[in-house]
Amino acid sequence: MLYIKNAEIYTPHKVIKKGNILIGGSRISKILDRPLPKLPPGTKILDVKGKIACPGFIDVHLQGAGGYDFLDATPLAVWEISRTLARFGTTSYLATTVFKNGKNPHIDVIVRSQELGVGSQGAQLLGIHLEGPFVNPKKKGMIRLNGIKDCSLTSLNKILKITKGKLRMMTIAPELNGAMEIIKRLKKKKIIASFGHSDATVEETKKGIEAGVTHATHIFNAMRQFHHREPGPLGAIFLDDRVSVQLISDGVHIHPEVIKLIVRLKGVENIVLITDSMSSLGLPDGKYVYDGWEYESRNGACRYKDGTLIGTSLPLNRMVQQMVKFGGVNLTKALQMATINPAKVLGVDTRKGSIEEGKDADLVIMDKECNIFMTLISGNIVYSKSPLGR
């Protein structure tokens, strides 16, 4: 067993000053606001000396990290991405990638990695998020044309066969011919249909929501923009509480004032922080390659040579920090957007996303500036910056 003492614990209900957490195996056994009088024999004691203990972060949208991306199609890539994410407090994630016309060895590797537990010493792989292939070429962003297909149930069935039950989310443009049938099938399969890479009107977006869209991929980015005579997808998404939104809170993808507006319109409970990270996450500024195209990572933002913004190099702990800075919310609310909110979207909130007795012991030890000192997954310390004392 592991006993974490002298922690500032962020629970769903309150912040416990000088709290203590007892972990038994992979689960949280007890949460206490006073020292446990007697510890079970053989319990390891970890004194975090007043640092914050919060739930592990959950990222539903990232392409890579640590010099690797999922298109590398190797178990090593998944392993290193998972290890890198854990360094920054992410304990669970969806492998985000594209489905190409032709062979998709990278998807086979992701599926096998999840089945075999590759990356078990880092963040836990919860499944696949496909951006496409049923997206609008007008709003393709970083998606290459060979990753875009016409909507058909035949193509979807092929995807479902290849992903072997590991597909958890698909970004789709509802205005495309045949998209409604795809969305309905995804809903039936309990796969999250996420609006994105779309040029839909407000009415087309509403139809998509009625068919089963419940989420929106990197809100404002790669979608038709708001106009007072044609509000587009944003007019529908912001007014419908059934739809949660992914938010990149770096201050580059979305202006800080717009971040505040999103909080005002959607509410804290309907916002999911994401990184949309590339292979350059955790690495210095410089030039890297994604899907055969060179991009530059600078000050946390990633762009192709033509200036197209394609993602970030910022980890989720920095997105939480920036959300406090730009979003006008406190740390408790910012953490909610990176923990329990994505857990609810994925349907894993009964075991992840918050510090509660009986839940998975996925924990982060950090300071108020969101600097990570330790990451625990299923009760195991998978990253430690330095000994915190005993």
Residues with a known catalytic role: 276
Please, which residues bridge with residue 92 across strands? 58, 124
- Alpha-helical (H) ranges within 250-330 are 256-266, 316-327
Q: What is the distance between the alpha carbons of residues 225 and 235, in angstroms, rounded to a whole number?
A: 9
User: Which residues lie below 8 Å from residue 255, measured CB to CB, with a gap of 6+?
Assistant: none
Place of tokens 């625990």: 376
Q: Please classify residue 190 by burial: count the beta carbons closer than 10 Å to its beta carbon, then call 0-12 exposed, 13-18 middle and 19+ buried.
A: exposed
| Cβ neighbours, 10 Å, residue 366 | 26
User: Which residues lie below 8 Å from residue 329, measured CB to CB, with a gap of 6+?
Assistant: 263, 268, 323
| Cβ neighbours, 10 Å, residue 236 | 24
Please, which residues bridge with residue 185 across strands? none
Q: Can you tell me whether residue 162 is helix, strand or coil?
A: helix
Please, which residues bridge with residue 267 across strands? none
Q: What is the distance between the alpha carbons of residues 319 and 247, in angstroms, rounded to a whole number?
A: 9
> Which tokens belong to 193?
């249909």
